[in-house]
Amino acid sequence: MRVQRTFLAIIALFLIILTIAVADAQTTKWYKYEAGIEEAGSTGKPVIMDFYADWCSPCIAMEEGTYPDPRVVSEMKDFIAIKVDTQVRIDIESKYHIAYYPTIVFLNSKGDEITRHVGYLGPEDMVKTINETRGKLPKESPGFEATNVLFVLILTISLMILRGRTII
C-alpha cells in the first residue's frame, strides 16, 4: 500500500514538472499596435516594437531565426511585443520616423521611446540589445510568479512524502 502511494506521488510530481516544462516552452505573443500599446499601459510592461516589411530579407531572417529562438523568447516575456507591417500601417511608420527595415523600437509602458536598433539582429545580439534596454528602464519591484507557487507546492508534497504522511 505504501509503495503504491509513493509510486502515485512520484507520477503526480512527474506530471507537474512536465506541465511546467511545457508551459516554459512558449512563443512570443505578438500584438497589433493599438492592442499592444493598451496592454502595455494596463500591465505596466515595456514594449518591443518590430517594424518590418514582407519583402525585407533581414526582416524575414529575424522572423524565422531570431524571434523563435528560446533565449529571445525568454528575454521578451517581460515585454509587450508589437509587430508593425510598414506596408499596411504607414501612419505608425511615420509617427516613429522609420526609414529602414527592420527597426526595433523599445518603449516604456507609457509609450515613451527608450532606444531603437536599426538592422538585423541575430539571437545573441537580440538578447544583448534587450538586456541593454532593460538597464535603461525604470526599476520595478520583482513580482511573484506562478512558477514560484508551483515550486513551493512541489516542495511541500515532496516533504510530505518523505516524512510518510498521506497527501489525500
pTM for the structure as a whole: 0.67
Query: Position 9: which residue type?
Result: A
Q: Which triple of cell numbers denotes residue 13?
A: 510530481
What are the residues whose beta carbons fall under 8 Å from the beta carbon of 78, sequence distance 6 or more? Answer: 45, 46, 134
Measured at the alpha carbon of residue 73, what is the angle toward residues 135 and 141, in degrees to the nearest 5? 40
pLDDT at 22: 47
Is the pLDDT at 145 greater than 60, yes or no?
Answer: no
Residue range 34-61: mean pLDDT, rounded: 96
Q: What contacts 122, CB < 8 A, 6 or more positions away? A: 65, 66
pLDDT at site 123: 97
Q: What ranges make up the beta strands (E) of 2-153?
A: 30-31, 47-52, 80-85, 103-107, 113-118
Give yes or no for residue 77 having a pLDDT over 90: yes
Residue tagged 516544462 (cell numbers): 21
CATH fourth-level superfamily of 32-137? Glutaredoxin (3.40.30.10)
pLDDT at 43 over 60: yes
- Max mean pLDDT among 7-16, 58-67, 126-135 falls in 58-67
Residue 168 has pLDDT above 80, yes or no: no
Q: CA-based Rg of the chain, rounded to a whole angstrom?
A: 21
Average pLDDT, the chain: 84
Q: Is the pLDDT of residue 137 over 90?
A: no
24 pLDDT band (50/70/90 cuts)? low
Q: What letter does residue 120 receive in the DSSP assignment? A: -
